[in-house]
Amino acid sequence: MNSHHMDQRVQDRGIPRLIVDWLEGYGDHHHDNRGAIIFYFTKRARRNLEKEVGSAPIRRMHEWMDSYLVKSNDGVGITVGKRFARLKR
């Protein structure tokens, strides 16, 4: 389940839904201690994804592999975006 805000951000930022699905399924995550979980790709997550889908799709989606997904603790998608700096943990 996603919020209207997240659906709007996906469209505004041009992030493919496939990337959102990959973030949920393969991305590493951490709690931000404010009620949300942030999903993102690490090297390990990318390797695991590549084992499942192959290297060609990863190369085609390379532009969006620095994306992140924020979900509430109850599983509702809040927003997505593209990282331009390291995530602070």
Distances (CA, A) of 49 to 6, 12, 88: 23, 25, 23
Q: Is residue 27 part of a domain?
A: yes
> What residues have CB less than 8 Å from 47, skipping those under 6 apart?
none
Per the structure, how many domains does the chain have? Answer: 1
pLDDT at 83: 84
pTM: 0.88
Alpha-carbon distance of 75 to 47, in angstroms, equals: 25
Alpha-carbon distance of 87 to 72, in angstroms, equals: 17
Structural domain boundaries enclosing 47: 4-82
Contact in structure between 68 and 38 (CB atoms under 8 Å): yes
Q: Is residue 8 part of a domain?
A: yes
Q: Is residue 88 part of a domain?
A: no
Q: Is 73 exposed, middle or buried (0-12, 13-18, 19+ CB in 10 A)?
A: exposed
* Per-residue pLDDT in tens (0 to 9) along the chain, 89 residues: 788 999 999 999 999 999 999 999 999 999 988 999 999 999 999 999 999 999 999 999 999 999 999 999 988 999 999 987 776 66
Distances (CA, A) of 70 to 5, 29, 74: 11, 9, 12
Q: Is residue 69 part of a domain?
A: yes
Q: Is residue 87 part of a domain?
A: no
Q: Is residue 89 part of a domain?
A: no
Tokens of 54: 């192959």
